[in-house]
DNA sequence: TTTTAATGTAATGGC
DNA sequence: GCCATTACATTAAT
């Protein structure tokens, strides 16, 4: 049966074959030499490699650069260079909740910011969603509430400050 | 059949009314603070009533403006939005980057898709933009890159298909 | 019509 | 669980 160890294609070819073979793009090629251990993410099953972009060298970049830009570019280059590219391969497809689902989630949130596992499971069943999604939804919802609190507090402080002067 | 949503203690509404009344679901009942959350948008904040400066019209501002001054103009717009301006509500005025700003942003993007806060702050300072604008620009730029990758992959698959037949 | 700045929020990873 | 940060789907300005 399915193991939690998932075989995922590296984005770079290690065998000298072109990156964009049909099989590679469709994720159908066998005999990949390097495999990575990744979390179990069925929705990433047939994910294609993302390819890679070769950045300009420092020299090439500076060659392109005119006098005006040079200071800034040089200044920023050291910090910018060599930072890796995160492609977030295998990210779960964004869930699009229906308005009814949102309304019901909101109505629960109104009375309880922290529904326990039982409630989440029940919601999942009734709304035809995974319990994971419910959990994440409440987490993001709490963050949103907190943001709005911070903002209104900021406005109140600002208002009080202005009125004092 | 009893559902956990209705039955469990911690989701019972504090006022004793059922959770799924029509009003609740439609958000028409009282005490729904969470629906009144307003994003913090200083440029659209016309209720605050701070200041008595009559803002320039959009046309007047544009008349003053050439390419070099555009950034400043954007800043003035933003200030204007703090006053009761009627010709725009609720959304930040679209920033018009100069070609020089774009060039520099692109040159950084070439070597780093994910500039950290220090780089963004430095860019902001040098380009006379808010750090927010820089952040958003890189987000949109990454999305654009990803889109182009998807498209070229699609074209390559299609091409390979045609050549195979 | 096309491109892209701006927005809202689902998803991820670190702690 | 929180938090910061990201991708992604949309909207709207150009």
How does DSSP assign chain A, residue by residue? ---S------SS-SSS--TT-HHHHHT-----S--------GGGTTPPP----PPPPHHHHHHH--HHHHHHHHHHHHHHTTPPPP--TTPPPPP---HHHHHHHHHHHHH-SS--HHHHHHHHHHHT--HHHHHHHHHHHHHHHHHHHHHHHHHHHHHHHHHT-
Q: Is the pLDDT of residue A53 over 50?
A: no
pLDDT at B76: 53
Q: How far apart, in whole angstroms, are the C-alpha atoms of residue A148 and residue A140?
A: 12
For residue A124 the two structure tokens come to 């999942």
Lowest mean pLDDT among A70-74, A146-150, B59-63, B102-106: B59-63
The mean pLDDT value for A17-30 works out to 34
Q: How far apart, in whole angstroms, are the C-alpha atoms of residue A66 and residue A72?
A: 11
Q: Is the pLDDT of residue A95 over 90?
A: yes
Share of chain B above pLDDT 90, in %: 26
Tens of pLDDT, residue by residue over B25-37, are: 333 333 333 333 3
Tens of pLDDT, residue by residue over B120-133, are: 899 999 999 999 99
The residue among A64 and B159 whose pLDDT is bigger is B159
Confidence of residue A86 (pLDDT cuts 50, 70, 90): low
Per-residue flag: B93 CB under 7 A of strand C: yes
What residues of B are in contact with residue A107 (Cβ under 8 Å)? 19-20, 24-25
pLDDT at A20: 35
Q: How far apart, in whole angstroms, are the C-alpha atoms of residue B130 and residue B124?
A: 5
Q: How far is the CA of B15 from the C1' of C3 (A)?
A: 51
Whole-angstrom CA distances from B28 to A101, B88, B134, B154 are 17, 28, 40, 48
Q: Identify the residue whose tokens are 């609740």.
A: B24
Question: Burial letters for B12-39: b for 16+ Cβ neighbours within 10 Å, e otherwise?
Answer: eeeeeeebeeeebeeeeeeeeebeeeee
Closest listed residue to residue A23, CA positions, set B18, B156, B33, B130 = B156
Q: Is the pLDDT of residue B53 over 90?
A: no
For residue B121 the two structure tokens come to 């702050």
| pTM, two decimal places | 0.62
The mean pLDDT value for A16-22 works out to 38
Q: How far apart, in whole angstroms, are the C-alpha atoms of residue A2 and residue B12?
A: 40
What residues of B are in contact with residue A68 (Cβ under 8 Å)? 100
Least Cα separation, residue B1 to chain A (angstroms): 12
Which residue in B has a C-alpha nearest to residue A89's C-alpha?
B146
What residues of A are in contact with residue B157 (Cβ under 8 Å)? 22, 25-26
Q: Is the CB of A119 less than 8 angstroms away from the CB of B11? A: yes
Whole-angstrom CA distances from B126 to A16, A160, B83, B89, B114 are 43, 34, 28, 30, 18
For residue B38 the two structure tokens come to 């307003």
The mean pLDDT value for A128-156 works out to 91
Give the range with max mean pLDDT: A2-11, A114-123, B25-34, B89-98: A114-123
Confidence of residue A65 (pLDDT cuts 50, 70, 90): very low
The mean pLDDT value for B90-117 works out to 91
Q: Is the CB of A61 less than 8 angstroms away from the CB of B110? A: yes
CATH code given to domain A99-164: 1.10.10.60
Angle between helices B99-111 and A67-80 (to 10 degrees): 30
pLDDT at A67: 39
Give the range with max mean pLDDT: A14-23, B87-96, B129-138: B129-138
Q: How far apart, in whole angstroms, are the C-alpha atoms of residue A143 and residue A149?
A: 10
Confidence of residue A57 (pLDDT cuts 50, 70, 90): very low
pLDDT at A3: 28
Q: Is the pLDDT of residue B107 over 50?
A: yes
Q: How far apart, in whole angstroms, are the C-alpha atoms of residue A65 and residue A71?
A: 10
Q: From the candidates B6, B9, B32, B113, which should be mutated to test the interface with A, based on the most A CB atoms within 10 A? A: B113
């Amino acid at each position: 049966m399915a193991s939690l160890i998932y075989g995922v294609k590296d984005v770079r070819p290690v065998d000298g074959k072109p990156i964009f073979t049909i099989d590679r793009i469709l994720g159908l090629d066998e005999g990949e030499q390097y495999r990575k251990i990744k979390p179990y993410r069925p929705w990433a099953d047939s994910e294609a490699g993302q390819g890679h972009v070769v950045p300009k060298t420092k020299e090439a970049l500076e060659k392109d650069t005119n006098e005006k830009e040079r200071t800034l570019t040089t200044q920023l280059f050291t910090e910018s260079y060599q930072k890796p590219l995160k492609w977030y391969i295998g990210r779960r497809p964004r869930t699009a909740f229906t308005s009814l689902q949102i309304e019901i989630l909101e109505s629960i949130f109104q009375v309880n910011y922290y529904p326990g596992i039982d409630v989440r499971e029940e919601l999942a069943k009734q709304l035809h969603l995974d319990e994971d999604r419910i959990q994440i939804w409440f987490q993001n919802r709490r963050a949103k509430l907190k943001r709005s609190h911070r903002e209104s507090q900021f406005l109140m402080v600002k208002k009080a400050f202005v009125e004092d002067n």
